Structure 1
Amino acid sequence: MSDRTRIPKGVTALLAALLLCAPPFYLDAFWLRVGLFAMAAAIGAVGLGLLAGTAGQLSLGHAFFLAVGAYGYTWLAGDPGPALPPALAALLAVLLAGAAGGLFSPVAGRVRGIYLGVATLALVFLGHHVLLTADSVTGGFNGRSVPPLTLGGFSFGGDGSELLVLGVPFGAEERLWYLGLVLLAGTWWTARGILRGHPGRALTALRDSETAASVLGVDVARYRSAAFVVSSMYAGLAGVLLALAFRRVVPDYFGLTLSVDYLAMIVIGGLGSVAGATAGAVFVTALPLLMTRYADQLPLVAAPGTTDGGVGPTEAARYLYGAAIVLVLLYAPDGLHGLARRARARIRARPWPAARTRSPKSPPTDPTSATAARAKEPTP
């Protein structure tokens, strides 16, 4: 594809933004909830991608930091709790998740590989035990209701005054949709800035060879600890958005299965890629929800609440993206992002028909007149 026919990146981004702003006007609450859960998962997956894909640190404790963000906001903005302004509570919850990552960062700075994975696995079990036993803060087994987010007097919970936009009533899902878009856009911007700047190059060098990185002047322990803190803050932000979308947080959601889901997201999407982590998050999050909705139309899948001997939609979805992980590892180690990149390269390399443009050319000459002209030339 020639440079003239290639669409500028700014125009592409503007078209994508306009397209993502349209769903609240056309889709029902189910599809908006699917999008909200996918956006929250994408924010957390980008953070884990920075840690595991760019810095090369295996973490199985991502669910712990998601829980810190979700329960931190719920307690700070709720009653019992300090009952802080919800916007301030959300910011403090993200910082609280970063502080939790900072407390664990000395371990992350000295341990790597499978040992770091086992150490972070302990965080999940410890956090789940605290969530079940600290009833005054977490509500115990039954969890707690999540206070709606208000910003400048505007409520994102949909429980305030009626809001009509172009004749469409905007409830909680519609309002949270745009909040999720803003948070996801901020996540993209900051994460891509980290990857393209000096910290991203240092983390990549650290992943490839710690010895070579230290020779080049990279403080290995400091950068590994910083990567863990930044990843924890992204997870805390994802936890806040998840809590707002669910409207109730329960301890059983933040278990080991959630951490494995996030690892599946970044592997399927492509390690070290912001776009790949987002694509993997959409795939892993939306698949079980869609299979639950259309379970009665799918073969070998039992509808929720029935006992007809089929596989439940959640289990069937896990089988499918488990198979997707195997296929990615075998045939596309760089994930969906790598497949998309190679597809774009093939499209650009395809020969396109030349544009039919007129170029100034000399008028055709008559062969007989050319011969006569040569005959009149004097001979030396």
Structure 2
Amino acid sequence: MPNSTLNLETSPQVTRRPSIPDTRSSKAGKPLILLAVALVLIVAPLYVSAFWLQLGFTVCALAVGAIGLNLLTGTTGQLSLAHPFFMGVGALSYVVLSGESKETSLGPIIGLGLPPIVGLIGGVLLAGLAGLLFSPMSARLRDIYLGVASLALVFIGLHVLNTVSALSGGFNGRSTPAFELFGLRFDYLDNPPVILGVPFGRAELLWYFGIILLIAAAWFARNLLRSRPGRAMKLVADSELAASVMGVPVMQYKGKVFFLSSIYAGLAGVMYALAIGSIAPQSFGMDLSLQFLAMIVIGGLGSVGGAIAGAAFVTSLPLVIQDFSEYIPFVSNSPGGVSASHLASYIYGAAVILVLILKPSGLAGMWDSGIKAVGRWRTGRKQSKVSEVQAPPADQLV
């Protein structure tokens, strides 16, 4: 009688590859993507006009501010509208510290004439000091109450810029002194240095300066979010009670994050003043507060890369529409048309609504979803090329 018992030691086993997405290829490709982006940023001044370089520096300035606001609102959950106020403090401090005293038809203008790098550092520190003075209130207020209190700072800042004409130039504003570092003057020069046949003047130098400052700001923010304080900040946003139970000093963290956010805003204010060439009061009003909220919502709350993407989208959209307005029939400055700035406001306002409804994680979430989809597709292709080991027929089993 044949033995029908299977010999488990000699019978081959059916093996199946686990359907685990292979992320090694995406991780390996990440340095290549970063290298390609770095090369594009380095060679851009050789091929791009001064207009787009100026726009790029403006994007860098507002992206630094958006990162700071995202740390405060997107990560820690503190609603603040005071970013333009701290930007104004940084910008005003820079022009006073680095500008020259002079007499005008509207009265004297005060300036200390210090080196621009001293003015930049001083503007950042004074904006941080203003945030430190407001931080006890920000630590005790929550939600809409903090939003209203911070909005009051914006109105106070506008009043100061309009009335303290000896420092700010009053309603007409005051020109921003050119930045200078290592003997290079970031200004319109008669004989700028020439590299590969391209004169490197104000726009080109500010481009590289903005990229360096933005990379430093993003690097610090990403490291902070990955650290223990970053995890505590996220816990405070989720539940202040749970954070307290787990030993997180909630009031201290809220105050410190507000202070850090004001430092980011101060640096953004100095860069923004260099970008637009003046510190006119209307540049630091309520509209800028709403634009910053749109940046972090569209980009993705709590994401450093999302803050940069949101700033690029909101800042460049009006200028891109204006540049291509001849191809858009209803965009015109005439009474019957829609201006480029108004159309841009409609577009990113609609973008905010769509993001909140369809994709609350914003552009950063879309990017992550796309990366995961590509990883799943690559994994599926690899698995389809590898055949599974089939079990032998039953009559060969002894």
Q: TM-score, structure 2 length as denominator?
A: 0.86
> Aligned pair count?
358
| Residues 229-272 of structure 1, C-alpha deviations (whole Å, 9 max, x = no match) | 10011111111111111112200111000010000000000000
Kindly report which structure 2 residues correspond to 1:139-154, keeping only aligned pairs within 5 A, or say none.
139-154=169-184
Conserved in 1, the CA contact under 8 Å of 2:94 and 2:123? yes
Unpaired segments ≥5 residues, structure 2: 1-20, 101-109, 387-398
Kindly report which structure 2 residues correspond to 1:56-67, keeping only aligned pairs within 5 A, or say none.
56-67=77-88
2:321 is matched with which residue: 280, 291, 299?
A: 291
Amino acid aligned to 1:11 = L
2:364 is matched with which residue: 330, 337, 354?
A: 337
- Find the residue that maps to 1:22 and give its secondary structure: helix
| Residues 119-166 of structure 1, C-alpha deviations (whole Å, 9 max, x = no match) | 000000010000000000000011111111111211122436421011
Conserved in 1, the CA contact under 8 Å of 2:23 and 2:375? no
Aligned pair 1:260/2:284, yes or no? no
Distance 2:368 2:233 in 1: 23
Aligned pair 1:220/2:247, yes or no? no
Distance 2:121 2:376 in 1: 46
Conserved in 1, the CA contact under 8 Å of 2:22 and 2:376? no
Distance 1:59 1:356 in 2: 51
Q: Which residue of 1 aligns with 2:67?
A: 46
Q: Which residue of 2 aligns with 1:55?
A: 76
Aligned pair 1:21/2:42, yes or no? yes
| Residues 204-234 of structure 1, C-alpha deviations (whole Å, 9 max, x = no match) | 0100011110111111111000010100111
| Residues 69-117 of structure 1, C-alpha deviations (whole Å, 9 max, x = no match) | 1111111100222111100110110011100100100100100100000
Aligned pair 1:185/2:224, yes or no? no
- Find the residue that maps to 1:122 and give its secondary structure: helix
1:128 is matched with which residue: 127, 152, 158?
A: 158
Q: Give the direction of change, closer, same or farther, for the CA distance of 1:295–1:94 in structure 2 (3 Å limit).
A: same
Alpha-carbon offset, residue 20 of structure 1: 1.1
Alpha-carbon offset, residue 294 of structure 1: 2.1
Choose 292-301 or 334-343, whichever is displaced more.
292-301
Aligned pair 1:245/2:272, yes or no? no
Distance 1:122 1:101 in 2: 14
Choose 220-229 or 345-354, whichever is displaced more.
345-354
Conserved in 2, the CA contact under 8 Å of 1:49 and 1:266? yes
Alpha-carbon offset, residue 296 of structure 1: 2.6
Q: Which residue of 1 aligns with 2:349?
A: 322
Q: Give the direction of change, closer, same or farther, for the CA distance of 1:161–1:122 in structure 2 (3 Å limit).
A: same
Amino acid aligned to 1:235 = A
Amino acid aligned to 2:341 = T
Q: Which residue of 1 aligns with 2:16?
A: none
Q: Which residue of 2 aligns with 1:76?
A: 97
Conserved in 2, the CA contact under 8 Å of 1:158 and 1:175? no
Q: Which residue of 2 aligns with 1:348?
A: 375
Amino acid aligned to 1:322 = G
Conserved in 2, the CA contact under 8 Å of 1:158 and 1:170? no
- Find the residue that maps to 2:156 and give its secondary structure: helix
Q: Give the direction of change, closer, same or farther, for the CA distance of 1:356–1:200 in structure 2 (3 Å limit).
A: closer
Q: TM-score, structure 1 length as denominator?
A: 0.90
Alpha-carbon offset, residue 10 of structure 1: 3.3
Aligned pair 1:312/2:339, yes or no? yes
Distance 1:104 1:261 in 2: 22
Unpaired segments ≥5 residues, structure 1: 359-380
1:300 is matched with which residue: 309, 323, 330?
A: 330
Q: Give the direction of change, closer, same or farther, for the CA distance of 1:4–1:220 in structure 2 (3 Å limit).
A: closer
2:147 is matched with which residue: 112, 117, 133?
A: 117
- Find the residue that maps to 1:218 and give its secondary structure: coil
Distance 1:160 1:72 in 2: 29
- Find the residue that maps to 2:111 and give its secondary structure: coil
Alpha-carbon offset, residue 355 of structure 1: 10
State the Cα RMSD in Å.
2.1
Distance 1:180 1:162 in 2: 19
Conserved in 2, the CA contact under 8 Å of 1:173 and 1:245? no
Amino acid aligned to 1:44 = G
Alpha-carbon offset, residue 356 of structure 1: 12
Distance 1:229 1:335 in 2: 26
Choose 289-298 or 271-280, whichever is displaced more.
289-298
Distance 1:354 1:204 in 2: 38
Alpha-carbon offset, residue 353 of structure 1: 3.9
2:121 is matched with which residue: 91, 96, 100?
A: 91
User: Percent identity between the aligned chains?
Assistant: 49
Q: Give the direction of change, closer, same or farther, for the CA distance of 1:190–1:4 in structure 2 (3 Å limit).
A: closer
Alpha-carbon offset, residue 354 of structure 1: 4.0
Alpha-carbon offset, residue 352 of structure 1: 5.0
